Amino acid sequence: MPTTNDAETPLVGQTPWSAADPPGQPALFNGGAKVTPESRLPLILLIPLALAGLTILNAGLTRSRSTAHILLASLCAFCVAVLVCTAIGFSLASGSGHAIHLAGRDWNLIGNGRLFALSIDSQPLTLLLQLFSVGFASLISVAGGAERWRIAAVCASTALLAAIIYPLFLFWAQFGWLNQLGFIDGGGAASIQILGGANALCIAWILGPRHGKFTPEGIPTAMPGHSAAFVLFGCLLALVGWFGWTAGSSANGTAAVSVLAAINTVLAAAAAAIAAFVGTRVRFGKPDASLTANGWVAGLVTMSAAAPYVKPAAAILIGFVAGGAIVFAIEIIELRMKVDDPTGAISVHAVAGIWGIMALSIFGNAAFLPQLLGVATLIGIVLPVSYGLNLLMNRFVPYRVSPSGERQGLDLFELGAGAYPEFVIQREDLMRR
Amino acid sequence: MKLAGFLLMPAGFFIAVSAVVLLHTPPAQTVFCLAGFAIEIAGFVFVAREHLPKRSAHHQ
């Protein structure tokens, strides 16, 4: 998301931004035509391709018995997210904000825009970007609860995300106290990716693992996705859409900055995919298609934070580290934490997003403490709030489908029709042992 | 223990933010910020351990 640091004296030892080096303008690539709303709009309109790519990728990583369900759940989540964000969320993430006075400074805590986007006149592009962004964050959560999360519960949880969780943190990171401290998040790595991944973790904890995922001894069983073609095509589609965040989010840059961001996005994704490919080849003897695709997306996620602010060589290194880390992160989350994450959403979005945010302080022009504070806010405040709200919602709208429904497959149980009616779907309980 | 973990997480956050607001020297800010972050991670570990699937009793 576009960031605008104010010019007040910073608290964390960094030099204030000067007029010659405005917030968000990387020093290494000045000059060129200024970015205008007209030039940003075509890039931002690419973002739905990222949504489509992630949806297809998630569908490919789940079993065929729930394919139509996850696609419909993703669509419903997006619909609810944009409607609720327009009605409520945008008002909490815009406006001059309500501030408290503490330690000699004013701390902006929450937006005070008008409900139902009635204050849109001054910020139409911001609302458009927020709609796509909150929709994407909701898709990450849908992926975390795949194959056992009821659609009604998906919609209810997404409403909480779009009304409260997302706009609150977005305001802090974009206009509020976090931004005042110098936190930089170029394309929504924190407000979309890490937040979505944290929400997905809460959903996975509340839902519990899929039936048969862990043996009585706690050993995870493999439940491979049904379509590598979907997975790989989805990640390629996501690249095109990601330019909307990395190249299209910067409101203060020049056209040259946007090009740099696009270059960094491609380089980081490529490096991350190669790292995941090599990592799985070394670790498992053969490269894994789904982990490689996840590595590719992890590279994209890291550039959500850093794309306009780092050099291409740094983007390659950041992506390489992200891709290699994902292989281990997915393993740790499944084997050690015993969290059933069918699509690797928590690792790819939360873990890679954290690396992207912190990498900006290593390779870019962000200070270390503000970036650490941003991550600390997500872990210390956003995650507990998300867990509490979803746990409370679970009491009113049960999240988990019944065991018989899960065995039958959510396509047939919730929708009454499978995604592949002409093919025989294998079921473990029908196989002779 | 889950509740303790969920209390530790915001506690660590407030320690980190307080360090930035109240302390004025960068080394002290960094140390206390990291300490607050470590408390957050400890709380997260407690919560994660409480969500581990319960192992069933050994069946003969």
pLDDT tens digits for range A160-219: 999 999 999 999 998 899 998 889 987 889 999 999 999 999 999 999 999 989 988 888
> If you count them, how many residues does chain A have?
433
Locate A10 and state its tokens.
């910073």
ipTM for the assembly: 0.90
Q: Cβ–Cβ of B16/A205 closer than 8 Å?
A: no
Task: Evaluate whether A172 touches A377 at the Cβ level (below 8 Å).
Answer: yes
Q: Is A419 exposed, middle or buried (0-12, 13-18, 19+ CB in 10 A)?
A: buried
Residue numbers in A near B55 (CB within 8 A): 216-218
- Among A21-25, A254-258, A384-388, the range scoring the smallest mean pLDDT is A21-25
Q: Closest Cα of chain A to B42: distance in Å? A: 11
Nearest residue of B to residue A381, measured between CA atoms: B10
Q: Kindly state the helix (H) or strand (E) to which residue A44 belongs, with its residue range.
A: helix A37-44
CB atoms within 10 A of CB A416: 8
Q: Cβ–Cβ of B10/A373 closer than 8 Å?
A: no
Select the residue of A216, A368, A380 nearest B13 (Cβ to Cβ). Answer: A380
A37-212+219-432: CATH class: mainly alpha
- Please report the pLDDT score of residue B55 as a whole number: 63
Q: Closest Cα of chain A to B46: distance in Å? A: 11
**E-state strands within A239-391:** none
Q: A103 or B50: whose pLDDT is higher? A: B50
- Please report the pLDDT score of residue A318 as a whole number: 97
Q: Cβ–Cβ of A372/B40 closer than 8 Å?
A: no
pLDDT above 80 for A159: yes
A37/B contact by beta carbon, under 8 A: no
Average pLDDT over every residue of A275-304? 94
- Please report the pLDDT score of residue A32 as a whole number: 63
Q: Is A349 exposed, middle or buried (0-12, 13-18, 19+ CB in 10 A)?
A: buried
Residue numbers in B near A212 (CB within 8 A): none
- Please report the pLDDT score of residue A278 as a whole number: 96
Query: Which residues of B lie inside 8 Å of A (Cβ-Cβ)?
Result: 6, 9-14, 16-17, 20-22, 26, 29-30, 33-34, 36-37, 40-41, 43-44, 47-48, 51-53, 55-56, 59
d(CA A208, CA A340): 7
- Among A83-97, A191-205, A370-384, the range scoring the smallest mean pLDDT is A83-97
SS3 track for A287-312: CCHHHHHHHHHHHHHHHHHHCCCCCH
Q: A102 or A131: whose pLDDT is higher? A: A131
- Please report the pLDDT score of residue B56 as a whole number: 55
Residue numbers in B near A380 (CB within 8 A): 9-14, 16, 40, 43
Q: Closest Cα of chain B to A121: distance in Å? A: 35
Q: Cβ–Cβ of B10/A380 closer than 8 Å?
A: yes
What average pLDDT does chain A have? 87
pLDDT above 90 for A239: yes
Q: Kindly state the helix (H) or strand (E) to which residue A105 belongs, with its residue range.
A: strand A105-110
Closest CA to A188 of A360, A401, A10: A360
A422/B contact by beta carbon, under 8 A: no
Q: Closest Cα of chain A to B30: distance in Å? A: 7
DSSP string, A154-170: HHHHHHHIIIIIHHHHH
Percent of chain A with pLDDT over 90: 61
Residue numbers in B near A374 (CB within 8 A): none
Contacts of B57 (CB under 8 A, 6+ apart): none
Q: Cβ–Cβ of B10/A381 closer than 8 Å?
A: yes
- Please report the pLDDT score of residue A8 as a whole number: 39
pLDDT above 80 for A423: no
Q: Cβ–Cβ of A216/B56 closer than 8 Å?
A: yes
Q: Closest Cα of chain B to A416: distance in Å? A: 31
Q: Closest Cα of chain B to A359: distance in Å? A: 17
Residue numbers in A near B30 (CB within 8 A): 368-369
pLDDT above 90 for A2: no
- Please report the pLDDT score of residue A118 as a whole number: 78
Q: CB pairs below 8 Å between A and B: how many?
A: 79
- Please report the pLDDT score of residue A61 as a whole number: 94
A337/B contact by beta carbon, under 8 A: yes
> If you count them, how many residues does chain B have?
60
Average pLDDT over every residue of A287-292? 93
Average pLDDT over every residue of A3-7? 38
**Which of A379, A381, A387, A390 to substitute to test the interface with B, most B CBs within 10 Å?**
A379
Q: Which amino acid is at B7?
A: L
Task: Evaluate whether A119 touches A91 at the Cβ level (below 8 Å).
Answer: yes
Task: Evaluate whether A66 touches A410 at the Cβ level (below 8 Å).
Answer: yes
Residue numbers in B near A383 (CB within 8 A): 9, 44
- Please report the pLDDT score of residue A198 as a whole number: 96
Task: Evaluate whether A260 touches A29 at the Cβ level (below 8 Å).
Answer: yes
Percent of chain A with pLDDT over 70: 89
Q: Is A197 exposed, middle or buried (0-12, 13-18, 19+ CB in 10 A)?
A: buried
- Please report the pLDDT score of residue A20 as a whole number: 36
Task: Evaluate whether A144 touches A62 at the Cβ level (below 8 Å).
Answer: no
Closest CA to A314 of A8, A28, A3, A45: A28
**What per-residue string of b and e applies to A84-105 under the rule 16 or more CB within 10 Å gives b?**
bbbebbbbbbbbebebeeeeee
First to last CA, chain A: 53
d(CA A187, CA A177): 18
Average pLDDT over every residue of B29-47? 95
Q: What is the CA radius of gyration of chain A?
A: 21
- Alpha helix segments (H runs only) across A212-311: 228-246, 255-284, 289-306
Select the residue of A338, A369, A387 nearest B52 (Cβ to Cβ). Answer: A338
A178/B contact by beta carbon, under 8 A: no
The residue written with tokens 């996975």 in the block is A204
